C-alpha cells in the first residue's frame, strides 16, 4: 500500500503555501439530472442502438447514476440547447459565486476560465462569458481539463499579490456532450463509456486579496505532471492545426482506458506527496476532494491510499465526471456542509498528459 510519509525527492512542481481569501463559490448544471436507465433507453429508441445492457454494466462499475447534459440528444450532430452552452453555464456559475460573495460583476478585476470544450476555438470562451455578464474587465481562457483549476490558481496568486489587486473569478466549465456521436457507439465501445461517465457543468470561485472580507482561506496550492514521454490518456485528436480536418462527422474525445487505469493511481500518489512535502498532509484535514472520475472515489482512495473513505467527498455518482468543472463544483457543494474551521484537501488529477494539482481549503468561522 502507498505510504504517504516518503515523498519523492525528485518531484518538480509549482507550489505556493500562502493564503488567498475565498469570498464565494457557485455552480451551474444544464437541465434536470438524467438517470442511467433513462439515458440508455433514450439512446436505444432515438438512434436504434443496442446499448442498454452494456451501458448499465459500465455505469454500475463506475457508480455513476445520474448526470446533467447540455444537449437534447435528438440528433446525431447537435450542439447545446438554448441557454446551456459552455459560456452560458460559466456565466451562471460566476453569478452564483458573486451572489455567495455579496458582490457584483464590476467588483472583479479579472476572470480566468478553463475548459476543454469551448464554444469556439477563437475568440476564446471567456469573451462570450464577458458578454453574458456585461463584464468590461480583462479575462483569459486556459485550454485545460481536470487540473485547469491548479494552473488558474498559479496565475491568480500573482495577480492578487499586487498593491492594487481586485477580486478574481475563476471558472471551470464543460459541455463535452456536444462531442458525442451516437453512431460511433456501434464502432467504439469507449464512446459508450464516455456517454455514461461524462457530465456537463460549470463551477466558479471568487478569490480576494488581503483586506477583503472572506468566508474561507485557500492555501498550499500545487501543480505538476508525470506525463513526460507518456502518450495522452484522454485527447481530442482532430481539430487542431496538426489535424485540422476531421475524419468523422463529429470531433470526439478519445479515451485510452487501459493507460488511465494504469497511470491514474500514480497521479493521486504524486498529488499526496506534493501536498505532504509543502506541509499539508491527508491526516490533518476533515475532508478530501479527489478528482471526480467516478462515484467510487471514496472506496478507491481507501483501498489504494489507505485513507478513511468516509472523509472523501464524492458527487460523481449524481453529476458524472465534469472535467474542468469538477473541483470547483465539488468544493461549492461541500462548502454548504462545512462548519467554521473545517478543512479540505483537494487532489485534482487529469489524464490528458497526466497532470496533478491541488490545494488546501479552510472554511471560515
Strands 14-16 and 216-225: antiparallel
| CA-wise closest residue to 234 among 333, 342, 340, 354 | 354
Cα–Cα distance measured from residue 137 to residue 204, given in angstroms and rounded to the nearest whole number: 17
Residue with cell 459541455: 175
Give the Cα-Cα-Cα angle 322, 125, 161 (nearest 5 degrees). Answer: 90
Confidence of residue 3 (pLDDT cuts 50, 70, 90): low
Average pLDDT across the chain, whole number: 91
Task: Give the integer Cα–Cα distance in Å for 2 and 213.
Answer: 40
| Cα separation, 83 vs 87, whole angstroms | 9
Res. 266: pLDDT tops 70: yes
Q: How much is the pLDDT for 80? A: 96
Q: Per-residue pLDDT for 9 more than 70?
A: no
Residue 151: enclosing H or E segment and its boundaries?
helix 148-160
Report the pLDDT value the prediction gives residue 306, as an integer from 0 to 100: 77
The helix or strand, by DSSP H or E, that contains position 208, with its residue range, turns out to be strand 201-208
pLDDT tens, position by position, 48-76: 999 999 999 999 999 999 999 999 999 99
DSSP state of 230: P
pTM over 0.85, yes/no: yes
How far, in Å, CA of 346 to CA of 328, rounded?
A: 10
Reduced 3-state DSSP string for 14-69: EEECCCEEEEEEEEECCCCCEEHHHHHHHHHHHHCCCCHHHHHHHHHHHCCCEECC
Q: Which of 192, 152, 154, 197 has the alpha carbon at shortest distance from 172?
A: 152
Contact 343, 331 (CB under 8 A): no
pLDDT at 6 exceeding the cut of 60:
no
Contact 70, 82 (CB under 8 A): no
Mean pLDDT of 278-292: 92
Q: Percent of the chain, pLDDT > 90?
A: 72
Among residues 213, 167, 193, 149, which one has the least CA distance to residue 40?
Answer: 193
> How many of the other CB atoms lie within 10 Å of CB of 341?
10
Crossing angle (nearest 10°) for helices 86-101 and 125-133 = 50
Is a pLDDT exceeding 50 seen at residue 2? no
Instruction: Taking residues 97-107, report their average pLDDT.
Output: 98
What's the pLDDT tens digit per position in 313-352? 999 999 999 999 999 999 999 999 999 999 999 999 998 8
> Which pLDDT band holds residue 1 (cuts at 50, 70, 90)?
very low
- Span 158-206, pLDDT tens digits: 999 988 999 999 999 999 999 999 988 888 888 899 999 999 999 999 9
Summarize the confidence of residues 139-165 as an average pLDDT. 95
Alpha carbon 350 to its chain's center: 9
Is 4 a residue whose pLDDT tops 70?
Answer: no
Residue 10 in this model has a pLDDT that exceeds 70: no
Q: Give the bridge partners for 169, in sequence order.
A: 111, 206
Percent of the chain clearing pLDDT 70 (strictly above):
97
- Angstrom distance (rounded) from CA 268 to CA 263: 9
Out of 3.40.630.150, 1.10.10.60, 3.20.20.70, 3.40.47.10, the CATH code matching 1-365 is 3.40.47.10
Task: Average the pLDDT over 270-298 and give the result.
Answer: 92
What the block records as the C-alpha cell of 300 is: 478507491
Amino acid at each position: 500500500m502507498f505510504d504517504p510519509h516518503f515523498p519523492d525527492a525528485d518531484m518538480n512542481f509549482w507550489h505556493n503555501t500562502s493564503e488567498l481569501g475565498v469570498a464565494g463559490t457557485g455552480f451551474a448544471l444544464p437541465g434536470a439530472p438524467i438517470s442511467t436507465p433513462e439515458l440508455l433507453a433514450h439512446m436505444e429508441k432515438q438512434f436504434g442502438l443496442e446499448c442498454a445492457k452494456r451501458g448499465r454494466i459500465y455505469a454500475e462499475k463506475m457508480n455513476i447514476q445520474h448526470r446533467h447534459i447540455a444537449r437534447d440528444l435528438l440528433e446525431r450532430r447537435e450542439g447545446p440547447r438554448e441557454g446551456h452552452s459552455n459560456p452560458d453555464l460559466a456565466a451562471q456559475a460566476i453569478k452564483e459565486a458573486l451572489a455567495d460573495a455579496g458582490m457584483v460583476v464590476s467588483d472583479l478585476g479579472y476572470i480566468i476560465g478553463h475548459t476543454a470544450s469551448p464554444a469556439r476555438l477563437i475568440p476564446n470562451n471567456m469573451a462570450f462569458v464577458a458578454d453574458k455578464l456585461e463584464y468590461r474587465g480583462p479575462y483569459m481562457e486556459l485550454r485545460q481539463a481536470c487540473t485547469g483549476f491548479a494552473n488558474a490558481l498559479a496565475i491568480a496568486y500573482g495577480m492578487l499579490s499586487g498593491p492594487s489587486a481586485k477580486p478574481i473569478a475563476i471558472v471551470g466549465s464543460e459541455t463535452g456532450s456536444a462531442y458525442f456521436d451516437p453512431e460511433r457507439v456501434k464502432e467504439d465501445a469507449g464512446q459508450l463509456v464516455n456517454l455514461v461517465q461524462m457530465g456537463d457543468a460549470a463551477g466558479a470561485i471568487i478569490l480576494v486579496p488581503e483586506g477583503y472580507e472572506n468566508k474561507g482561506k485557500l492555501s498550499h496550492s500545487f501543480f505538476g505532471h508525470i506525463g513526460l514521454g507518456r502518450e495522452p490518456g484522454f485527447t481530442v485528436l482532430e481539430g487542431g492545426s496538426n489535424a485540422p480536418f476531421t475524419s468523422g462527422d463529429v470531433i470526439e474525445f478519445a479515451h485510452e482506458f487501459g493507460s488511465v487505469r494504469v497511470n491514474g493511481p500514480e497521479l493521486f500518489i504524486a498529488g499526496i506527496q506534493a501536498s505532504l512535502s509543502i506541509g499539508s498532509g491527508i491526516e490533518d484535514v476533515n475532508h478530501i476532494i479527489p478528482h471526480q472520475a467516478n462515484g467510487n472515489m471514496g472506496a478507491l482512495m481507501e483501498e489504494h491510499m489507505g485513507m478513511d473513505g468516509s472523509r472523501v467527498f464524492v458527487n460523481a455518482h449524481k453529476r458524472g465526471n465534469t472535467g474542468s468543472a469538477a473541483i470547483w463544483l465539488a468544493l461549492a457543494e461541500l462548502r454548504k456542509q462545512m462548519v467554521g474551521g473545517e478543512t479540505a484537501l483537494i487532489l485534482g488529477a487529469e489524464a490528458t498528459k497526466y497532470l496533478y494539482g491541488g490545494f488546501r481549503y479552510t472554511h471560515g468561522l
